């Protein structure tokens, strides 16, 4: 690719969209304590109202992922209407097979066919939710795994997984996709049935073109070169989505770009190189975060801005100079071109892009000044606050 013009950089930034997770707006915590915060939503309707706030101030967050059963409502058509009225669409529907007694030893991989059938049925119910809400992405993060060598047969579990996934895949409509996430460990510690991108890709390839891999930036061993995985999955047309978040130790679900903004830049650089930033590229840029101690709506706004900053830097890379340095074997020159872009302060550029859309250049300041948090803290009394896992 060649170096982008200033106008192309600005229009790419203006067109970028990021999907928000409904669960980021409820209370969440560690396995030791869930803290509660005034004004936290009590149901999916209030979560969507909060999502709309992030979209109002960033102009970049027009979709929300739901988690079933956490976001179960009586009438999903009505929830989708509520979302549209707030300028938001329903994005990925996330299944959940990690909170049912029956799934202690596995769900889609379970040795017992009746338990497997129950896990498959849950996914068919999720596809019904997709029909009602207009969602096109079914996202599966499979917790299945074992804790002890010998506990179950690794290969048989893969065979059972392939069969279960094929049943789910067969129920998809042509415009729907199956997004298959991987995670190297947790909740189990010896084997995980989808531990890495290779395993996810193998299953996706067996299923068909509507199955693609989800890359959660928190689901890798320390030191993993994530941008390599991004480049490879893009190369074979199977990067369906990101779950963006930051990790310091394991699956920390912190604000993306907080732990390693340079890694986020390197990831977005691969996206730009493959021209995958376009809204119709087939890559869904989602956040998967939990805000335990920080303000939730503001935390999401910060994350959106962090992704935008990494993207702007990637768009600014002098591609002509980089190609020339690479061609001539100028190792340090090539690296310097990349670092020049990374070290650019893109905040003024992004403020101008926002202002050109009629937004405030500083979304955090504008949101804080709006008084929304104070208002919902007064209004949302009574009822039970939504929280991770409920
Ligand atoms: C998992 C995974 C999924 C998320 C759940 C709540 O670790 O990241 O994407 O939906 O957590
Ligand atoms: Mn995830």
62-118 per-position pLDDT tens digit: 999 999 999 999 999 999 999 999 999 999 999 999 999 999 999 999 999 999 999
253 in ligand 1 pocket by Cβ < 6 Å?
no
Q: Which two structure tokens, joined as six digits, stand for 369?
A: 């000044």
Is the bond preceding residue 56 a cis peptide, omega within 30 degrees? no
Sign of the Cα torsion 260, 261, 263, 267 reads positive
Count CB neighbours of 89 within 10 A.
17
The whole-angstrom distance between residue 295's C-alpha and the CA centroid of its chain comes to 19
Could you tell me which of 262, 207, 265, 192 has the C-alpha nearest to residue 240?
207
**Residues of the chain with pLDDT > 70: what percent?**
99
Q: How many Cβ atoms sit within 10 Å of the Cβ of residue 320?
A: 12
CB of residue 243 inside a 6 A radius of ligand 1: yes
- Whole-angstrom distance between the N-terminal and C-terminal Cα of the chain? 47
To test the pocket of ligand 1, the residue of 216, 218, 256 to mutate (highest count of ligand atoms within 8 Å of its CB) is 216
In 3D space, the residue among 261, 256, 166, 147 whose CA is nearest the CA of residue 206 turns out to be: 166
Instruction: Using the predicted structure, report yes or no on whether residue 389 has a pLDDT greater than 70.
Output: no
pLDDT tens-place string over residues 163-194 = 999 999 999 999 999 999 999 999 999 999 99
Closest CA to 345 of 261, 252, 279, 248: 261
Q: Which residues contact 325 (CB under 8 A, 6 or more apart)?
A: 333, 334, 336, 337
- Ligand 1 nearest-atom number relative to CA 388: 6
CA 136 – ligand 2 centroid, Å: 17
Looking from the CA of 108 toward its CB, the CA atoms found within 13 Å total 29
Whether residue 362 has its Cβ less than 6 Å from ligand 1:
no
Distance between CA atoms of residues 199 and 214, nearest Å: 12
pLDDT at 157 exceeding the cut of 80: yes
pLDDT band at 390 (very low <50, low <70, confident <90, very high): low
- For 147-233, list the strands marked E by DSSP: 177-181, 191-192, 211-216
Average pLDDT rounded to a whole number, residues 124-133: 98
Is any ligand 1 atom within 6 A of the Cβ of residue 137? no
Q: Please say if the pLDDT value at position 387 is more than 90.
A: no
Average pLDDT over residues 329-354: 98
Averaged pLDDT for residues 273-297:
96
Ligand 1, residue 94: give the atom nearest the CA.
10
Which pLDDT value is given to residue 29?
Answer: 83
Could you tell me the distance, in angstroms and rounded to a whole number, from the CA of residue 379 to the centre of ligand 1? 30
Mean of pLDDT values over 254-283: 97
Going by pLDDT thresholds of 50, 70 and 90, the confidence category of residue 388 is confident
Report the alpha-carbon distance of residue 165 to residue 157 in Å, rounded.
Answer: 12
Sign of the Cα torsion 232, 238, 241, 245 reads negative
Give dist(CA 129, CA 43) in Å, integer.
17
- In the chain, the percentage of residues whose pLDDT exceeds 90 is 95
Tell me the per-residue pLDDT of 198-234, one tens digit each, with 9 for 90 and over: 999 999 999 999 999 999 999 999 999 999 999 999 9
Pocket test for ligand 1, best of 243, 252, 287 (most atoms within 8 A of CB): 243
Tell me whether strands 177-181 and 137-141 are parallel, antiparallel or unpaired: parallel
126: part of which helix (H) or strand (E)?
helix 113-133
Which atom of ligand 1 is the closest one to the Cα of 67? 10
Q: Tell me, what's the pLDDT at 32?
A: 87
Find the 67 Cα to ligand 1 centroid distance in Å: 9
Q: Greater confidence, 168 or 35?
A: 168
Find the 134 Cα to ligand 2 centroid distance in Å: 21
Helix axes 372-379, 363-370, angle to 10 degrees: 40
Q: Candidates 66, 141, 193: which one to mutate for ligand 1, based on the most atoms within 8 Å of Cβ?
A: 141
On average, the pLDDT of the chain sits at 97
Mean pLDDT of 331-344: 98
Q: What is the 142 CA–ligand 2 centroid distance (Å)? A: 10
Q: Ligand 1: which of 183, 288, 387 to mutate, most ligand atoms within 8 Å of CB? A: 288
């Amino acid at each position: 690719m060649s170096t982008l013009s200033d106008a192309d950089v600005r229009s790419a930034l203006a067109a970028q969209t990021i999907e928000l997770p409904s669960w980021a707006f409820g209370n969440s915590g560690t396995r030791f304590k869930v803290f509660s915060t005034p004004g936290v939503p009590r149901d999916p309707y209030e979560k969507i109202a909060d999502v709309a706030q992030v979209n109002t101030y960033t102009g970049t967050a027009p979709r929300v992922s739901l988690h079933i059963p956490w976001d179960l409502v009586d009438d999903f058509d009505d929830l989708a209407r509520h979302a549209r009225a707030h300028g938001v669409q329903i994005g990925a529907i996330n299944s959940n097979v990690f909170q049912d007694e029956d799934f202690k030893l596995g769900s889609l991989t379970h040795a017992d066919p009746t338990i497997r059938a129950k896990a498959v049925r849950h996914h068919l119910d999720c596809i019904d939710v997709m029909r009602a809400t207009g969602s096109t992405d079914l996202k599966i993060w499979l917790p299945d795994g074992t804790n002890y060598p010998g506990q179950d047969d690794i290969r048989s579990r893969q065979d059972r997984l392939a069969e279960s996934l094929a049943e789910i895949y067969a129920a998809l409509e042509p415009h729907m996709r199956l997004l298959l996430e991987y995670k190297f460990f947790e909740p189990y510690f010896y084997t995980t049935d989808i531990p890495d991108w290779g395993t996810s890709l193998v299953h996706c390839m067996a299923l068909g073109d509507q199955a693609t891999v989800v890359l959660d930036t928190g689901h890798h061993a320390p030191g993993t070169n994530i941008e390599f995985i991004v480049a490879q999955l893009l190369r074979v047309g199977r990067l369906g989505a990101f779950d963006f978040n930051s990790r310091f130790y394991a699956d920390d679900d912190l604000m993306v770009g907080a732990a390693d903004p340079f890694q986020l830049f390197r990831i977005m650089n691969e996206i730009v190189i493959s021209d995958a930033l376009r809204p119709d590229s087939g890559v869904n840029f989602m956040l998967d975060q939990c805000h335990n101690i920080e303000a939730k709506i503001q935390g999401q706004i910060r994350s959106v801005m962090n992704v935008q900053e990494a993207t702007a830097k990637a768009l600014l890379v002098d591609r002509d100079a980089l190609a020339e340095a690479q061609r001539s074997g100028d190792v340090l020159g090539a690296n310097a071109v990349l670092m020049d872009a990374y070290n650019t302060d893109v905040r003024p550029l992004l403020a101008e892009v926002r202002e050109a859309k009629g937004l405030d250049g500083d979304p955090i300041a504008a949101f804080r000044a709006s008084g929304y948090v104070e208002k919902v803290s007064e209004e949302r009394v009574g009822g039970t606050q939504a929280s991770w896992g409920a």
